[in-house]
Amino acid sequence: MSHPQLASIFNKDEKKVNWHDKALWFVRHKRDMSVHHVQGWEELRNLGHGIKAHMLSNLNSYLEEFEANAKKNGVEVHWAATAEEHNQIVHKILRENNAKKVVKSKSMLTEECHLNPYLEADGIEVVDTDLGERIVQLAKEPPSHIVLPAIHKNKHEVDELFQEHLGTKPCDGDPQYLTGEARKHLRQKFIEADAAITGVNFAIAETGGFVVCTNEGNADMGAHIAPIHIACMGVEKIIPKLEHLGVFLRLLARSATGQPVTTYSSHFKKPKADKKMHIVIVDNGRSEQLSRPDFRASLHCIRCGACMNTCPIYRRSGGHSYDATIPGPIGSILSPGKDLTKHSSLPFASTLCGSCSDVCPVKIDIHSQLYKWRQIITKNTPQPFIKKKSMQMMGNIFAKPKKFEKVGKIARWSLRNLPKSLINSKPNAWGKARDLPEGPKQSFDEWYNERQQNKNN
């Protein structure tokens, strides 16, 4: 289904929309409180943007540098051109080590590659260990937000879910109790795990190390207990130098949740002597996106989710209405690059208000890219006949003032004289919940001409 269809279903429950909107606006508010206290915030954003742009313009060299250093550190580096290959590589590592139980910390990349079902098909247990991710995993749903995966669920739904799957007692949705029970349940999973999979927030070319950020400590509980650590990263996660972390770690958590930094910013470099560390570097369409000058800045994204929290459409349509791994504004500029037809409604799920671009810590011109995708979509995907024709007609009318005048006159007459029931009938989506203005007798044009004539007389 398209975004407007899914959004209108979401909007059938207005109370839920209000709740969802408020919960995410609260996160945006916390972000504001935090960043407005940072001296030089805008300069920090400029640095974030500049470092990422530089990185992309030298990406192949930085990837090679990163690989060489990671290998020196005793890390095994793998390359995956596609999601399928990524899954095969991870699967192979697990099989070679006879790993049957896997704990995974949040990684949008493995979500993008649909790693879980791939491994589960071979009887491997994959447990998502971020609380929000665990909640949606138990509910058999995809995450609806990249930082707050279960933001669409209220505490009572979580309560019921945990009763069913974890055998918890009914608790009227007490978050403290539910979190405590999840801790116990997942602690067992950490202890038993044969392998840990994590994402990568930043990979540092000059050291071959990488940084993983969490608040819960789940990435570390997984990676330091299990004998094997597999870190999966998109090619664009590279940053040139260690000192650049100073910029990105200052931007990331403040933009995401308003925290001054995530609770844990873990810097992995060398595995312990008795352990193995693997890095899987994934392309899966990123190099293609890099080839598009108008859209390559979308690869700057550090996955903070601020554009989702600020987006008035996201807040009122829910993450699932985007039907894409990454929902919201950033997803709407990334997804069309992967499947233009499937995601053709996403760039239109915006008023182009520009809040996403202003909130973005790495200054991605998100709303301009939405506009540009629209131009491409209308040319390259099937468009409704009526939309196409009416646009041609409008283009024609607006190029010729005489025609415009005539059409305007008819429209104003109709608004004045036709019954409301006809004006607001079904084909006019505007009129479902809104009135149209009264059609004035005189256009401005007519009024002005009359006034000039009177003046001249």
Residues 19-48 that bind other proteins (CB under 8 A): 21, 23, 25-27, 32, 35-36, 38-44, 46-47
Q: Which of residues 319-338 bind other proteins (CB under 8 A)?
A: none
Q: Does 346 bind other proteins (CB under 8 A)?
A: no
- Rounded to a whole number of angstroms, the CA Rg of the chain reads 26
Cβ(404)–Cβ(397) below 8 Å: yes
Return d(Cα 162, Cα 258) in angstroms, integer. Answer: 28
Choosing from 15, 140, 426, 434, the residue that interacts with other proteins (CB under 8 A) is 434
Q: Which is nearer to other proteins, 96 or 445 (CB)?
A: 445
Contact between 394 and other proteins by CB under 8 A: the answer reads: yes
- Decide: 422 and 428 in contact? Cβ < 8 Å: no
Position 197 contacts other proteins (CB under 8 A): no
φ, ψ (nearest 5 deg) of residue 115: -65, -45
- Sites for other proteins among residues 269-308 (CB under 8 A): 269-270, 272, 281, 283, 287-288, 290-291, 293, 296
Taking CB under 8 A as the rule, does residue 364 contact other proteins?
no
Please work out the total of residues on this chain that contact other proteins, with binding judged by CB under 8 A. Answer: 164
Comparison of 123 and 162: residue with beta carbon closer to other proteins: 162
Q: Is 389 one of the binding residues for other proteins (CB under 8 A)?
A: no
Q: Which residues pair with 166 in a beta bridge?
A: none
For residue 135, state whether it binds other proteins (rule: CB under 8 A).
yes
CB nearer to other proteins: pick between 58 and 425: 58
Q: Are strands 264-268 and 210-214 parallel, antiparallel or unpaired?
A: antiparallel
Q: Measured from the CB of residue 243, what is the shortest distance to other proteins in angstroms? A: 5
- By beta-carbon proximity to other proteins, the closer residue of 123 and 278 is 278
Which of 65, 111, 128, 220 touches other proteins (CB under 8 A)? Answer: 220
Q: Does 54 bind other proteins (CB under 8 A)?
A: yes
Q: Is 444 in the site for other proteins (CB under 8 A)?
A: yes
How far the first Cα of the chain sits from its last, in Å, is: 62
Q: Give the integer Cα–Cα distance in Å for 270 and 73.
A: 5
Which of 16, 138, 166, 207 is in the footprint of other proteins by CB under 8 A?
A: 207
387 binds other proteins (CB under 8 A): yes
In this complex, which beta carbon is closest to other proteins, that of residue 94 or of residue 130?
A: 130
Measured between alpha carbons, how far is 251 from 300 in angstroms, rounded to an integer? Answer: 13
Measured CA to CA in angstroms, residue 424 lies from 391, 408, 421, 435 at distances of 21, 18, 5, 8
When the beta carbons of 92 and 155 are compared against other proteins, the nearer one is 155
C-alpha span between 175 and 132 (Å, rounded): 12
- Residue 116 or 355: which CB sits closer to other proteins? 355
What long-range pairs does 63-71 form, CB within 8 A, spacing at least 24? 63/205, 63/235, 63/238, 63/281, 65/205, 65/206, 66/203, 66/204, 66/205, 66/208, 66/238, 67/208, 67/281, 68/208, 69/205, 69/206, 69/207, 69/208, 69/209, 70/208, 70/209, 70/279, 71/208
User: Using the rule CB under 8 A, is 374 a contact of other proteins?
Assistant: yes
| Residue 50 binds other proteins (CB under 8 A) | yes
